[in-house]
């Protein structure tokens, strides 16, 4: 019994709940489930403050802060907006796409920040909200330009296809372009950030276990230690890549709704 009690005071692997929420409050009956919302609000404030500060005293010879803000905007405008939508439409949507990219990037990067250590986008509601926002925008834009009937024809009818094939292709195109896009866009972001967060947590848990076990485990701890460091750098790449992919898909969907042909 004494050994069991002593063992209870030793290492305890963090639960999945601990990886996504603040610790329990008081007697444990209340879970501080607002962790993601706290990081969401704080991240939004930081983004707004950063771009306001970088643009407040714009000069021909930019400061480092102004240069960083302009670099982020220029990357999205030139590398995504204009590249996909063309010059006129690209410049028109560059601000929205930069906001989308910056928001997702910061929400992803919370995963690597001490104390926070949670990608906000690993909560499925956040990617779903972003994907539905994009879905509403590109459908409204498309209907506004082409009319409801013209927009549906654009999204569902493939030119040059034999008439008999339309009975099969129209439902598939409607399902793919109108119904499933927000779901697949949300799942892609959520799944990558959720899985990455769990991998980092598992590697860190292994490292803590080996260090607390003592003895030869100090040497063995090198392996999960190296894995943890490697995964942190890998997740840094994933955070940026997922923000880029989500923004790129948004631009592609906008281009598809604004185009004059399928």
DSSP letters along 167-183, please? HHHHHHHHIIIIISHHH
Q: Which pLDDT band holds residue 260 (cuts at 50, 70, 90)? A: confident
Q: Which pLDDT band holds residue 7 (cuts at 50, 70, 90)? A: very low
Amino acid 10: pLDDT? 54
Amino acid 3: pLDDT? 40
Exposure b/e, 22-33, CB count within 10 A at least 16 = b = eeeeeeeeeeee
Pick the range with the lowest mean pLDDT from 78-87, 91-100, 169-178, 240-249: 169-178
- The answer to whether the beta carbons of residues 206 and 231 sit under 8 Å apart is no
Triad 197, 199, 203: Cα angle to 5°: 120
What is the maximal distance between C-alpha atoms in the chain? 80
What's the whole-number average pLDDT of the chain?
A: 83
Query: Is residue 8 over pLDDT 90?
Result: no
Q: Which pLDDT band holds residue 1 (cuts at 50, 70, 90)? A: very low
Amino acid 18: pLDDT? 56
User: What are the residue ranges spanned by the domains of the chain?
Assistant: 2-258
Query: Is residue 23 over pLDDT 70?
Result: no
- The answer to whether the beta carbons of residues 258 and 85 sit under 8 Å apart is yes
Q: Which pLDDT band holds residue 205 (cuts at 50, 70, 90)? A: confident
d(Cα 180, Cα 253) in Å, to the nearest integer?
12
Amino acid 48: pLDDT? 95
Q: What is the DSSP string of 87-151?
A: HHHHHHHHHHHHHHHHHHHHHHHGGGSTTT---GGGSTHHHHHHHHHHHHHHHHHHHHHHHHHHH
d(Cα 102, Cα 66) in Å, to the nearest integer?
15
- The answer to whether the beta carbons of residues 262 and 157 sit under 8 Å apart is yes
Amino acid 16: pLDDT? 54
**Three-state DSSP class for residue 251:** helix
The tens digit of pLDDT for each residue in 30-50 reads 555 577 888 899 999 999 999
> Which two three-digit tokens encode residue 99?
């906001």
């Amino acid at each position: 019994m004494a050994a069991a009690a002593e063992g209870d005071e030793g290492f305890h692997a963090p639960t999945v709940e601990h990886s996504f929420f603040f610790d329990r409050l008081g007697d444990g009956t209340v879970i501080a489930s607002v962790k993601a919302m706290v990081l969401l609000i704080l991240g939004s404030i930081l983004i707004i403050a950063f771009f306001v500060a970088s643009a407040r005293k714009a000069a021909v010879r930019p400061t480092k802060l102004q240069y960083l803000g302009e670099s982020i905007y220029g990357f999205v405008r030139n590398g995504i907006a204009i590249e996909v939508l063309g010059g006129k439409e690209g410049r028109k949507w560059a601000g929205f796409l930069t906001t989308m990219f910056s928001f997702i990037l910061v929400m992803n990067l919370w995963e690597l920040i001490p104390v926070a250590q949670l990608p906000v986008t690993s909560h499925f509601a956040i990617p779903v909200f972003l994907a539905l926002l994009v879905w509403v925008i590109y459908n409204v834009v498309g209907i506004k330009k082409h009319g409801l009937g013209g927009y549906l024809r654009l999204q569902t009818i493939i030119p040059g296809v034999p008439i008999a094939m339309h009975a099969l292709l129209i439902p598939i195109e409607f399902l793919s372009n109108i119904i499933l896009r927000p779901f697949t866009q949300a799942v892609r972001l959520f799944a990558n950030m959720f899985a990455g967060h769990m991998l980092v947590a598992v590697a860190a848990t292994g490292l803590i276990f080996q260090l607390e076990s003592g003895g030869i485990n100090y040497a063995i701890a090198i392996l999960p230690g190296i894995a943890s460091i490697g995964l942190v750098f890998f997740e840094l790449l994933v955070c940026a890549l997922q923000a880029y992919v989500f923004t790129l898909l948004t631009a592609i969907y906008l281009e598809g709704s604004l185009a004059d042909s399928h």
